[in-house]
């Protein structure tokens, strides 16, 4: 007979209608309302400090910490190592190829974007939707600037210092560590663009946790940058 689930009809949790601030625009939402999260649903379970989605994102970010720890450890392991037999001064090293100027501007962009997304969420909490969208757009812009800056820095490293991922272990670890971080920034930028598109059509209820959780991810990416910046550009240079 095989495994079967019961024949009884699928239980549906009663979802309170989302409080859409602008009922007219609800027509334009293509997303299924029932799939969108809402804190207004009655929680039948034991009280907990974090909501389910918050716990999920925290757990995910913990796994990200483990990932970056590995990359950072690898960077530290190869710090100061050169190719056996290479003439000192000929190979690109952190000291002779990394510059601080551009990366400081980059860091200012990225770190201030943590502030702008925070201000945006604050505006959202107060119901100032336009202001929120503006802050979110500024965050996206700052994130993109960071990526452009990183790309420009890499261009300089490749053309002027002839540092590629295959040059030496410094190149391998540097591009992998910075690249992984930039990849995470890109994911954040894309996610925020999607969020902006959804929010511009006002498809999320006021209680929806998604914007908050996206900001957690973004703060995490910034925090990791502080560690990477300190290690790669200050201690390791």
Partner 1 sequence: MATVNSYSKSTTSATIPLVTRLHGWVSSVDHKQIGIMYLIMSFIFMVVGGLEAFLMRAQLWEANNTLVGPETFNQLFTMHGTTMIFFVIMPMLAGFANYFVPLMIGARDVAFPRLNALGFWLSFFGGCLLYYTYLGAEGLYGASNAPDIGWFAYAPLTSPAYSRGNATDYWILGTMMTGAGTIAFGVNLIATIFTMRAPGIRLTKLPLFVWMMLIDAILILLAFPPLTAAQVMLLFDRYLGAHFFDPQSGGSALLWQHLFWFFGHPEVYIMALPAFGIVSEIIPVFSRKVIFGYASMAAATAAIGLISVGVWAHHMFTVGMNDMVDTFFAASTFLIAIPTGIKIFNWVATLYGGRLQLRTPMLFALGFLSMFLIGGLTGIMLSVVPFDWQISDSYFLVAHFHYVLFGGSLFALIGGFYYWFPKMSGRMMNEQLGIWHFTFLFVGFNVLFFPMHIAGLLGMPRRVYTYAEPEWEIWNQLSTVGAAVMGVGFLLFFINIAHSLRHGETAGDDPWDAWTLEWATTSPPATYNFEEIPTVESRRPLWDLKHPDDPDSQYE
Residues at the contact surface with partner 1, assessed by CB under 8 A: 1-8, 10-11, 13, 44-46, 48, 50-53, 55-56, 59-60, 62-64, 66-67, 69-71, 74, 77-78, 81-84, 164-166, 168-169, 171-173, 175-176, 180
**What is the smallest separation between the CB atom of 51 and partner 1, expressed in angstroms?**
6
Instruction: Give 129 or 161: the residue with its C-beta nearer to partner 1.
Output: 161
Instruction: Give 2 or 89: the residue with its C-beta nearer to partner 1.
Output: 2
Instruction: Give 25 or 50: the residue with its C-beta nearer to partner 1.
Output: 50
Instruction: Give 24 or 47: the residue with its C-beta nearer to partner 1.
Output: 47
CB 34 within 8 A of CB 15: yes
CB 56 within 8 A of CB 37: no
**What is the smallest separation between the CB atom of 148 and partner 1, expressed in angstroms?**
23
**What is the smallest separation between the CB atom of 1 and partner 1, expressed in angstroms?**
5
User: Which distant-in-sequence residues (6+ apart) come within 8 Å of 118 by Cβ?
Assistant: 215
By the 10 Å C-beta count (0-12 exposed, 13-18 middle, 19+ buried), 174 is classed as buried
**What is the smallest separation between the CB atom of 214 and partner 1, expressed in angstroms?**
16
Distances in whole angstroms, Cα of residue 152 to Cα of each of 131, 141, 160, 187:
31, 16, 12, 19
- Which tokens is 110 given? 């990225």
């Amino acid at each position: 007979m095989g495994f079967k689930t019961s024949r009884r009809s699928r239980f549906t949790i009663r979802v309170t209608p989302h409080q859409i601030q602008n009922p007219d625009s609800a027509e334009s939402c293509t997303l299924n309302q029932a799939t969108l999260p809402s804190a207004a649903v009655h929680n039948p379970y034991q009280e907990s400090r974090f909501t389910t989605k918050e716990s999920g994102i925290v757990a995910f970010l913990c796994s990200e910490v483990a990932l970056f720890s590995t990359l950072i450890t690898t960077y530290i392991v190869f710090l100061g190592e050169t190719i056996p037999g290479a003439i000192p001064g000929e190979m690109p090293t952190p000291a002779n190829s990394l510059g601080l100027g551009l990366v400081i501007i980059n860091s200012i962009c990225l770190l201030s974007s943590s502030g702008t997304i925070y201000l945006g969420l604050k505006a959202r909490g107060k119901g100032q939707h336009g202001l929120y969208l503006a802050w979110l757009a500024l965050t996206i812009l700052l994130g993109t600037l960071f990526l452009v800056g990183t790309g420009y820095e890499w261009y300089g490293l490749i053309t002027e210092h002839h540092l590629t991922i295959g040059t030496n272990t410094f190149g391998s670890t540097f591009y992998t560590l910075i690249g992984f971080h930039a990849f995470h920034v890109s994911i954040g930028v894309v996610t925020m663009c999607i969020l902006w598109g959804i929010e511009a059509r006002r498809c999320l209820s006021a209680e929806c946790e998604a914007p908050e959780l996206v900001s957690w991810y973004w703060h995490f990416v910034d925090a990791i940058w502080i560690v990477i910046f300190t290690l790669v550009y200050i201690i390791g240079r």
